[in-house]
Structures are given as C-alpha cells and as structure tokens.
Amino acid sequence: MFFDKLAIASFPCRSIHLFSLAKILTSLPSEVWSLSFLTDKQTVLLMQVLLAKHKDDNKFYAVKVLQKKVILKKKEQKNIMAERNVLLKSLKHPFLVRLHYSFQTSEKLYFVLDYVNGGELFFHLQRERRFSESRARFYAAEVASAIGYLHSLNIVYRDLKPENILLDSQGHVVLTDFGLCKEGVEPQDTTSTFCGTPEYLAPEVLRKEPYDRTVDWWCLGAVLYEMIYSLPPFYSQDVAEMYDGILHKPLPLPPGKSDAVCSLLRRLLVKDQHRRLGAIADFLEIKNHTFFSPINWDDLDNKRITPPYNPNVRGPADTQHIDPQFTREMVSNSVSRTPDLTAGTSTNAFNGFSFVANEDSFL
C-alpha cells in the first residue's frame, strides 16, 4: 500500500520542514501528490509543514504532519480533533487558514492547508522592529475580524501572537494554528485551562481564574503594542518580572504615538477582564473604536483594501520571508516513519479525522 511507502525515517513532531516536490498521498486514495525535496541538505523550518504540489492542478499546499504516538503520549488527541473541527468551521473567512484535506496513516496525521509564504508577522517585526500606525491598524483590523468570526462560532482562540499570524502573497493576514482553541464558549461562558504564550498571557490566565472571550482581546492589544513599540507590553527576559508587570504594573505608553492608538491599547490591556474593551459587545466594540475609524470593514473583509506592504514573493519556492536560521537544518530523504515508532493504540483514537473539502466551501 502506498501509505507504507511514505518513507523510512521520520522527523520530530515539533520539527517542521518545507519541501518542494517527494511522494505523499492525500485523503483521496486515488490521488497522489507529486513532491520533491527543495535540496538534499537544506530545508526551511516552518510549523510542522511540508510544501506539496498536487500533480493534477499544480496547486501548492502546506501539509502539517503529526505523529500519533507523540500525541497519545501527551494526551493531546482532544486538542488535535478540536483543531480539526475549528479548521472546518473557519473555511469561509478570508483571514483564517483553510483546510483542504485531512487524512491519517497508521502512524501519522496530516492536515493539508493553504500554503502561505509571505512570512510570519514575527519575522517582519524582527526585521523592521516596529510598524507605522497605519500598517499596524491594517493588520490589527484583519486579525480582529478573524477573532470576531471565531467568537461568533463560540470559539476562543487563546494563542494570538505574531508567530501565528502569517502574510499571504499579497500581504493580507492569515491566522493559523488552532491547537489551543476552545470550542463551545458561549458569550457568558468561561473556561480555565492555563495555556498560551508567556509574553501574551492575560492577567486572569496568570491568576488561574476562569476567563472568557476577552482573553483574545488582551492578546490583540499585546500584539498591537508590539507592532507599535517593537516589544510586547511588560516584556522582560526575566519571566517572573514580566508576569509581575502583567499582573500589577501600569501599562507603559512611551510618547510619540497618537491618542487613538494609546486609547485602544489602554482599553484592550485592562487587567480586569470585565472592564476590557469587548467585554460587553465583543467584536462590535473593537470595530467601533476610534483607532479603526479609517477602516471600511466591508471592504476589509472583501480584501478591497490594498495591504500596506507587499511581500513580492516570486513563487511557491520563494523563501525570502522565512527566517534564515531555519534554512540551515539538515534533513533526511524521507518524510514519514521511524522504524521503532508504532501507534498500536491509536486505531480508534482519531475516528472522524479524515476530511475532503468541497471547493464550493471556499466561495
């Protein structure tokens, strides 16, 4: 069977490689993907993703690969299935990555997603240090639209950060990585799992208190702050000191920025979640803030606003916007299994994982 020929050696679950053309099978048994390695010795580390090209239509896709044994050992199967469910629900939003297929072998899970190579927002911030207010407003608006859509589906994102915000080839935002999403959170509901990324954790999460949807608006404020000031609010290399700042210190707002952006940052980065912008009317409050008054939201959602920055990618193999540190990693000539890796108990752990999108879903 072709699944058994996917390869001889594997890569760690957290090691993500970009290839341009090898052999892999989609969820449709009759369809084969035509892939080949970018080089024998170099690859691009990209979020657990292989770059694949469909042999029939020559479209490029990102293939996220996960090892079942690792998932089961860490008891993360519910999170993986939740990620798959969120991906299915986000098919029709312009700023959320889209799932085209999901399938599994005896040892691995595969998500076949939009291929996005305009670079992580984190990469562009590292290179440029900070953005103009107008550029930051554009990205924040597209992200807020995506978060608002997830909230309308009773989904809390919980891990908003520049690393999870990609730019497409035109410069529009694509929000990705739904592994920490929480489904079924109604407007008045709370949840309590401690999760997220240290620099962007909301005070209520740090206090291990029940939290609601406004945790995402805190994270939006933290990302906007970083776009404007080059570092997240309260940032310190000493994590304990940073947490103390998030919990207890007033928000530092160095001079030189507009009243509108400072007002929005103060409203989003309120330590009391019940007083935070978005606590009452959710996304509607964000949209109506004066900082976003230049934004026509209908034009934004229909991508009729020209992005402030064009990545100018030269094609799917263009990696100019991938951090160079990720291009030095050696890889083997295979993309699948490790001889001593088995997933004997995983047969029924991922029932219902496989999915094939109807192209009408994207219209």
Given 56, 114, 159, 177, the catalytic residue: 159
Q: How many CB atoms lie within 10 A of CB 221?
A: 28
Q: Is the dihedral of CA 114, 118, 124, 127 positive or negative?
A: positive
At which residue do the structure tokens 């029940």 appear? Answer: 210
State how far the alpha carbon of 29 is from the alpha carbons of 34, 36, 101, 224, in Å.
14, 20, 12, 44
DSSP characters for 90-153? TTT-TTB--EEEEEE-SSEEEEEEE---S-BHHHHHHHHS---HHHHHHHHHHHHHHHHHHHHT
Beta strand 173-175 with 165-167: parallel, antiparallel or unpaired?
Answer: antiparallel
Instruction: Specify the 3-state DSSP secondary structure of 219.
Output: helix
Q: Which residues pair with 156 in a beta bridge?
A: 182
Rounded to whole angstroms, how far apart are CA atoms 105 and 77? Answer: 15
Identify whether 159 is a catalytic site residue. yes
Closest CA to 245 of 275, 197, 196, 200: 200
Cβ-based neighbours of 245, under 8 Å, separated by 6 or more:
233, 234, 236
Q: HSE on the CB side for 231, CA within 13 Å?
A: 10
The residues that are catalytic are 159
